[in-house]
Every structure is written in structure tokens, then in C-alpha cells.
Amino acid sequence: MFIPNLRRLSRRRFVSLAAAAASAAFIGDFGLADAADVTLVAPYFPQGGTGSQSTVNCGPATVAAAVNYSGVASPTVQNVRKKLGFNGATSLEQWGWLLDEYEAPWFPTNSRDEMDRALRTGHVIVIAAWMENFSHAPDFEEPFSPFSKQSGRYDEFAYGHALLITGIADSDANYLIHDPNVFPKQGKSFYGDGAPKGSYRRYSMEEVWKTIDQYADGLALAVASNGSEAASEAAVKRGQSRSGGLFAGPGGGHAPDRGSLGVTGEVVPASERGVISAASDDGDEDDE
């Protein structure tokens, strides 16, 4: 499917009215938890070091993290790219298709309230973001900065991107997000202790919802942990086929200028930050 407008997605292309109604009914059954902070323990997959498609692998990296969190399979970033079957940028629709292919339980959310309710009931959220919408953090472009709960962008990349929301922090001020934009041997990708800046990165809740609303027409994908009560309610396949010629949209439509790294690296993050490293299999191979 070709999406001609990179700054906006059509929800009608992605989910039918029936699916949207079903998701709304499902969301309505949630009991909203209290406003305490939430951290979901989800694996973190960087897109860097994942082969020739590294600069556009934010979508596969985010899907890999979501599928691993669901527990239905344990794909690497390269596995997800291979299943997709083509090179280049990916889109929100294709991420939904991939979740279906792995049989991960998920459903679409169409408002901030639905998304937050899903988070508080144990769902990680796959989103499409326009990174220019986020404010610069104090450690923006700063190599090996100390970790101090910074909120905002740490990298100059400002285009379409895939992210995974993994929690709520600081009394509803920030979302915790797995940002796959981490590359080996780039100091700005890491804190001083070697942990990846993209793991459980804080981004303003207001800015996150703004980019979802404006860039993705309010659509996000809530992925449940397999075997949970929510998973049985979210098992209906809703993604479209990946068939088509030219692909565009969020998830790396504008590849950042990073040159050819070709580096095999292993990220070993600080365990106290709750990071599950998934980079050990991410070398310069495309067919893992």
C-alpha cells in the first residue's frame, strides 16, 4: 500500500468500522487503575547493528519488542524484517500485519483515554511518531551523558519513527518509551554507564499524544501479554496484507544520514533500569 501523505495516516485504510466498534466496546470494559506510575517490563531492541536495513528498521525493532512482550514468539529484528519480505521504510499498517502474522493479541486504540487505559491494564502500545514534534532533552546530541530521568529527544532525527510505549512516569507527566534509535559506536545513543538512551526513555505525554493524533490520526496498537485476560479479547486479526509495490509512511520514511556502520555490537544496559538486552543477536546479517 502506498501512503501518499507522510504526515498523516488514514485510519479508514487500516481498521474497519466494525473493528473500531469492537475495540471501543473492549476498552469500555476496562477498569481504569489508579493514577500511579506504570512500568511494563518489555524487551528493548535497538535498530542499530541489524544489517543493511538498520536505518529503516525502527518498525521491525518495535514489532520485535512487542511480539516478545506478548510471549507468542521471540523474533529478532532481522527475523521481523525477513517475515515482512521487503526492504525499506515500513508503516503502521504493516506493523499491524506483522503482529497478526506472529499471532500476537492486539487491538487498535483511537483516543488518548483508550491508550492510557490499555497501558494501565498491561498492554504495550506501538505508535507512529513524527520526531520533530518532541522537545529536545538536556542531553540532546550529547555523547555518554549521565542518566538523570531526562525527558525528550536525544537525537537529531526528526522524521517518521516507530516507538513502543512501555509505561507512565512522573505523575502522568511522561510516557516511558522504547525508542529503537540506538546505534553501536555512536556515543549520543548511550548514557555514561553504557545503557542505551532509547530504553525506557521519557517523552512528554502531551507531546506523544499530539504526534499520534496529528501524524497517525489518533491510531495506536495495544499489544497484550499472551495468556492474560486481555489477550483473549484481542485475538481477532485486524491488520491488512503487506501486498503492494511502493511503501511509505512512518517508521523511517526519511532515513537519517548515519553512513554505513556495518558494526556488530552488543548492548549491555544497566540492569537497574529494567532493560532486557536483545542486541546480542543483532549483527550485520539480514537473514537471521
Helix, coil or strand: residue 187: helix
> What is the pLDDT, as a whole number, of residue 231?
54
The whole-angstrom separation of Cα 194 and Cα 279 is 13
**Domains of the chain as residue ranges with CATH:** 16-236+268-274 (3.90.70.10)
Sign, CA dihedral 156-159-161-165, equals positive
Q: Which three cell numbers stand for residue 103?
A: 499471532
**Dihedrals φ, ψ of 100, to 5°?**
-65, -45
Confidence of residue 281 (pLDDT cuts 50, 70, 90): very low
For 163-177, write each residue's pLDDT tens digit.
999 999 999 999 999
For 104-139, write each residue's pLDDT tens digit.
999 999 999 999 999 999 999 999 999 999 999 999
The whole-angstrom separation of Cα 104 and Cα 53 is 24
> What is the pLDDT, as a whole number, of residue 207?
98
The whole-angstrom separation of Cα 81 and Cα 88 is 10
pTM above 0.85, yes or no: no
